């Protein structure tokens, strides 16, 4: 079947970390924090147990501190599962990047740094290869936001994406801050526009998924993958439903 009609879309479950625990924020607000599980490894194993193959692991402490904090969680999950982990939050220098990759992350997730220190990130792409990175585009009204969403810029999301596609980046995930953690549905129109502009991109939708139909809608418009977080933890989408959806290709 054609991509626009029906294709395989990968589910990437998310684990957000604060003080080593699995949490979720609403609209990126650290004051709106909810702890879901004290043991992220247990959560990761549950995802692997239903056949999911990837994990989006975010060090929220690291994003705030500007340096990775939750090393041990990454190491534990990498050593005890076969999940391909993309890890982000606080990767600001080469030593940290190397440690993240050596500790077991398949991909380093880069967001704010790609805006704030373009030369450094471009050097990393050359040195480590673009396949080692997943670029995050956090968006507010089609403009990039950085620093754990605390700072909005005037950079257009399409210009931002194109500039790094030109450097060889192949995976980009986009989060609409206004949707994230609210369980109000993903930004379908924004994603349609991105997919129309970059039809060959491995595009990952992120934020707003609240029910199984949202995943079907994202697959229908051509998303390559979707990050799902709060909907799982709030039991809006069960692991059984995710497993079944994951098998439909």
Q: Identify the residue whose tokens are 């999950």.
A: 77
Task: Record the tokens describing residue 151, joined without a space.
Answer: 């700072």
d(CA 17, CA 22): 5
Query: 49-58, pLDDT tens digit by residue?
Result: 999 999 999 9
d(CA 18, CA 92): 18
Question: How would DSSP label each residue in 169-196?
Answer: --EEEEEETTTTTTTS---HHHHHHHHH
Q: Is residue 80 predicted with pLDDT exceeding 80?
A: yes
How high is the pLDDT of residue 3?
41
Could you state, in order of their start, the residue ranges of all structural domains in the chain? Answer: 10-247
Query: 28-44, pLDDT tens digit by residue?
Result: 788 888 999 999 999 99
How high is the pLDDT of residue 177?
83
Cα 163 to the center of its chain, rounded Å: 19
Q: Could you confirm whether 189 is annotated as catalytic?
A: no
Q: How many residues does the chain have?
A: 249
Query: 185-218, pLDDT tens digit by residue?
Result: 899 999 999 999 999 999 999 988 999 999 999 9
Judged on CB neighbours under 10 Å (0-12, 13-18, 19+), 200 is exposed
pTM, full prediction = 0.92
CB atoms within 10 A of CB 26: 14
Nearest to 174, CA basis, from 205, 130, 213, 214: 205
Q: Where are the alpha helices (DSSP H) in 106-154?
A: 112-116, 118-128
How high is the pLDDT of residue 12?
97
Indicate which residue of 16, 59, 86, 176 is catalytic. Answer: 16
| 10-247 CATH pick, 3.10.105.10, 3.20.20.70, 3.40.50.10860, 3.40.50.720 | 3.20.20.70
Q: Could you confirm whether 138 is annotated as catalytic?
A: yes
d(CA 86, CA 107): 4
Query: 144-191, pLDDT tens digit by residue?
Result: 988 655 678 999 999 999 999 999 999 999 988 876 666 678 999 999
CB atoms within 10 A of CB 148: 22
Nearest to 175, CA basis, from 136, 209, 134: 136
Indicate which residue of 59, 61, 86, 138 is catalytic. Answer: 138
d(CA 41, CA 30): 22
Element holding 199 (H helix, E strand): none
């Amino acid at each position: 079947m054609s991509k626009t009609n029906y294709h395989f879309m990968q589910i990437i479950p998310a684990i957000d970390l604060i003080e080593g625990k699995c949490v979720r924020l609403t609209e990126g607000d650290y004051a709106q924090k909810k702890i879901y599980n004290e043991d992220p490894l247990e959560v990761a194993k549950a995802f692997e147990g239903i056949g999911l193959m990837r994990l989006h692991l975010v060090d929220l402490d690291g994003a705030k501190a500007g340096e990775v904090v939750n090393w041990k969680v990454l190491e534990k999950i990498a050593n005890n599962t076969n999940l391909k982990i993309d890890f982000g939050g606080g990767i600001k220098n080469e030593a940290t990047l190397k440690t993240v990759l050596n500790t077991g992350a398949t991909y380093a997730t880069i967001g704010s740094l790609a805006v704030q220190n373009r030369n450094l990130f471009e050097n990393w792409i050359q040195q480590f290869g673009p396949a080692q990175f997943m670029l995050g585009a956090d968006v507010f009204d089609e403009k990039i936001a950085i620093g754990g969403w605390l700072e909005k810029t005037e950079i257009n999301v399409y210009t931002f994406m194109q500039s790094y596609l030109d450097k060889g980046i192949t995976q980009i995930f986009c989060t609409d801050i206004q949707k994230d953690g609210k369980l109000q549905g993903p930004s379908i129109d924004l994603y349609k526009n991105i997919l129309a502009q970059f039809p060959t991109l491995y595009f990952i939708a992120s934020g707003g998924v609240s029910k199984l139909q949202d995943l079907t809608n994202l697959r229908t418009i051509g998303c390559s993958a979707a990050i799902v977080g709060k909907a799982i933890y709030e039991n809006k989408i069960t692991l059984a439903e995710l497993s079944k959806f994951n098998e439909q290709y």
